[in-house]
């Protein structure tokens, strides 16, 4: 049958049925939650947790944008208040990719990247992290 060549949702529409949402969570929370933002922040926080030393129980990561050799660049200040001498201004590839995705998302929504501070705190259970985001400027 010719309709078998169409994607499943197109077949449903042709049959007079409702389409199946491609992103059910995004469809359900449309206008209430920014699911894309939540996923991007989850990747950034997971990347920071994986990147920093395991004894860091608190992570503060400031991400700003500027110019480096006349090119737009992201600048990082990754710290743990309890181990202030072990901080870094260098991010690994995963952190940088995640931060770049966050910046692209914010730029598309706001027109500019204001800079952010991501704070992570390991909960007492030693497994779960709480995070917060502060927008700069």
- In whole angstroms, give the CA distance from residue 130 to residue 120: 6
In the 8-state DSSP scheme, what is residue 111? S
Q: H or E element: which one contains 10?
A: helix 8-14
β pairing state of 58-68 and 116-122: antiparallel
Q: Is residue 10 pLDDT above 90, yes or no?
A: no
Mind listing the pLDDT tens digit for each residue in 33-88? 788 899 999 999 999 999 999 999 999 999 999 999 999 999 999 999 999 999 99
How do residues 73-83 score in pLDDT, each as one tens digit? 999 999 999 99
The pTM of this model reads: 0.76
* Overall average pLDDT of the 1-22 stretch: 63
**Domains with residue ranges and CATH for the chain:** 34-135 (3.30.500)
């Amino acid at each position: 049958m010719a309709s078998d060549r169409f994607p499943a949702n197109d077949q449903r529409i042709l049959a007079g049925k409702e389409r199946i949402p491609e992103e059910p969570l995004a469809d359900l929370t449309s206008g209430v939650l920014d699911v894309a933002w939540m996923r991007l922040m989850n990747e950034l926080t997971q990347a920071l947790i994986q990147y920093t030393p395991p004894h860091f129980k608190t992570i503060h990561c400031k991400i700003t944008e500027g110019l480096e050799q006349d090119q737009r660049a992201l600048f990082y200040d990754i710290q743990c208040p309890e181990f202030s001498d072990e901080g870094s201004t260098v991010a690994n590839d995963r952190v940088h990719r995640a931060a770049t995705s966050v910046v692209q998302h914010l730029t598309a929504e706001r027109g500019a990247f204001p800079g952010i501070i991501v704070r992570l705190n390991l909960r007492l259970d030693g497994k779960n992290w709480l995070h917060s985001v502060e927008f700069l400027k």
